[in-house]
Structure 1
């Protein structure tokens, strides 16, 4: 199950993120960026990206129950309850060691999935005859979309900070699927 990580004497790595989850993550990142850059300029591309996000959210919901160990939602409640203390400890430079998502990452996952769902669904609603021009649909879409972009920035910052504290390249782990285990 573990093997030596390149360049790490005595360290081992473990497969954490499966290929479907990694492809989902990077596809979602690209589609969110496309959707953020294209409203009112390239409306067709914006809508296609939004509909694709809905498809990816549906996949993630299914994969959260049917996927591999670290893709499943099984420990969601435990990690969400641990998130406030984890974030508090980050202020003191204590990041802990987690194979899958840490509690802050879990809270970010849940929040981003919910906000992406709100953004994508209200965006789809806004182009229907029934909801076109309805102020609360447009406002909800705009606010949820802005919140997603802010949280994406916080997510990237969090990955960098925790990666530095843990002396891990977490971005590489999301490409390779492997995380280095620390010797204790």
Structure 2
């Protein structure tokens, strides 16, 4: 393991990330045919499996390592405003919020695509309109996600895109702890 680096993203996290990214790119810009439908269901299935992995997976893949609570979001936004973003081994709170938004949009697109094929909605416009609105929302979120990854990589001098390829992130400050534990409610 390289000095000062931590294996953060396991193989399953990276495979699901890049496979879903490829499928979404194909489905956003490719033809809307039978392949589009099958790939959409595969993407939704992979997102579902990634959500399961958030409960049972490796240390940094678990939701307990990065769930964006209001307190964590506020603290992180304040660190950005001070010009010194807090370092996170897993997702930072804004990145975690974006992951959740992307996953929900992909799941909703799978569901709306499925609804469009049901006889019960034959001739109805709203399932197609919903699917279109969701796809536009996904495109916007993807653009924000990519831009944020690039900006934060430059700002923090940590290659976040490279980390999602290799699995390694910079270990960060010496006093940084392992994934935070949820406090009992």
TM class by shorter-chain length? Answer: 0.7 to 0.9
**Structure 1 vs Structure 2 CA RMSD:** 1.8
1:94–1:165 Cα contact (<8 Å) kept: no
Q: Secondary structure at the match of 2:69?
A: helix
Provide the residue aligned with 2:48 in structure 1. Answer: 58
Q: 2:28 is matched with which residue: 22, 30, 36?
A: 36
Q: Which runs of 5+ in 2 are unaligned?
A: 175-185
* 1:49 positional shift: 1.4
Deviations 1:129-153 (A, max 9, x none): 2223322222211111110110011
Deviations 1:101-142 (A, max 9, x none): 001001101111111111111011112222233222222111
Structure 1 segment 125-140 matched on structure 2, within 5 A:
125-140=115-130
Provide the residue aligned with 1:16 in structure 2. Answer: 8
Deviations 1:80-117 (A, max 9, x none): 31224524543553321110000100110111111111
* 1:42 positional shift: 4.2
Structure 1 segment 88-127 matched on structure 2, within 5 A:
89-127=79-117
Provide the residue aligned with 1:80 in structure 2. Answer: 69
2:23–2:43 Cα contact (<8 Å) kept: yes
TM-score of the two chains, using structure 1 as the length reference:
0.85
2:102–2:141 Cα contact (<8 Å) kept: yes
Q: Which runs of 5+ in 1 are unaligned?
A: 5-11
CA distance in 1, matches of 2:124, 2:80: 42
Q: Secondary structure at the match of 2:104?
A: helix
1:15–1:179 Cα contact (<8 Å) kept: yes
Q: Secondary structure at the match of 2:122?
A: coil
Provide the residue aligned with 1:7 in structure 2. Answer: none
Change over 3 Å in CA distance of 1:149–1:88 after alignment to 2: farther
2:47–2:103 Cα contact (<8 Å) kept: yes
* 1:71 positional shift: 1.0
